[in-house]
Amino acid sequence: MKQTSIGGQAVMEGVMMRGKNMYAIAVRKPDQEIIMDKQPIRSLSSRYSILKWPILRGILGFVESMVIGIKTLTYSASFFDLEESEPSRPSKSEAWLEKKLGDRYDDFIIGMTVVIAIILAIGLFMVAPLFITRFIHTWIPTGRLRAAVEGVIRILIFLIYIGLISQMKDIQRVFQYHGAEHKTINCYEQGEELTVENVRSHTRYHKRCGTSFLLIVMLVSIGVFMLIDLQNMWMRFLSRIVLVPFIAGLSYEIIRFAGRSDSLFVRLISYPGKGLQRLTTKEPDDDQIAVAICAMKGVLEDEGESYDSCPIIK
């Protein structure tokens, strides 16, 4: 079995694959043409070696993944905005910002989107369970037990959220591309030729999936908050915000370890995440698999491997 650090993300009618130094995004346009774009990855860890340390590299990787994810989602959506609707005129505030920031406008918008997304995620999955638990604290004898109950509520909110969005038609299409991404990586890791037929036969579940990472974040948070038994409500509230980077970094190290091992222990800790992928991945069709293969080949070519052109299925 090949060891690879290549990961990916499903986007609108496409797939992004990320290697060590660059990422490639392949999108099937409305006219059925597959278009691919490659961009270099300029990580802060190449400038500041301290950011390669355990935990810190996970925090950095999480933020950089969100930035790349939003960039690629915006890129894929642009093809469908142009086809399906008239371009809207920017508001006065948007025009003012664009004038003031110039070439940095897009980076500013992406940065603000990442910040807002992180704030909403912390509010929904970290802070909300804390306040829900407060209403039932009189029936829970100890602080550590309250942290455990809070963690269960956090996981339930996460599962309900995933369950609700999985019912949306557009999201189901994205989840099919998510499945195509996993199948393609699994096929490559098994050393098989990247063809639609070969990829189709592989599982749509993968232990290094971002969904598994989020679930591990939830589980790690239970252990961390049980160890930190704070009695003051506002101190507990502050800890749910301040400790998020540490929890994300620790969860990254667990996922990283899981990706390099096939031991019984790793299979056990990967099982809940793979179970959740039953919701966040769907079986793709051959068109979607072809797009994922195209993105994968784009990354592999950059890493020195030679491949034929992308499969085109219409």
Q: Tell me, what DSSP letter sits at residue 104? A: G
In a domain, 312, yes or no: no
In a domain, 308, yes or no: no
In a domain, 65, yes or no: yes
The closest of 13, 40, 14 to 25, measured between CA atoms, is: 14
142: its two tokens: 């100890």
Tally of domains in the chain: 1
> Count of CB atoms within 10 A of residue 268's CB?
9
In a domain, 288, yes or no: yes
pLDDT at residue 308 is higher than 70 = no
Distance from chain centroid for Cα 200: 23
Its pTM surpasses 0.75: yes
Tell me the pLDDT tens digit for each residue of 89-136: 666 666 767 777 777 777 778 888 888 988 999 999 999 999 998 887
**Strand 14-18's sheet: what is its strand order?**
7-11, 14-18, 22-28, 34-40
Q: Residue 231 — φ and ψ, nearest 5°?
A: -85, -35
CA gap 89, 94 in Å, rounded: 9
pLDDT at residue 237 is higher than 60 = yes
In a domain, 309, yes or no: no
> Count of CB atoms within 10 A of residue 307's CB?
14
The closest of 240, 210, 237 to 224, measured between CA atoms, is: 240
Q: Residue 208 forms beta bridges with which residues? A: none
pLDDT at residue 192 is higher than 80 = yes
In a domain, 89, yes or no: yes
In a domain, 71, yes or no: yes
Tell me the pLDDT tens digit for each residue of 250-278: 999 988 887 777 777 777 877 888 889 99
In a domain, 313, yes or no: no
pLDDT number for residue 95: 73
How confident is the prediction for the chain on average, in pLDDT?
86
pLDDT number for residue 198: 96
3-state DSSP assignment of residue 35: strand
- The band of 291, judged by pLDDT with boundaries at 50, 70 and 90, is very high
Annotate 106-136 with DSSP letters as a single string: HHHHHHHHHHHHHHHHHIIIIIHHHHHHHTT
Tell me the pLDDT tens digit for each residue of 40-53: 998 999 889 999 99
CA gap 18, 241 in Å, rounded: 29
Distance from chain centroid for Cα 150: 24
The domain in which residue 109 lies consists of 7-302
CA gap 261, 282 in Å, rounded: 26
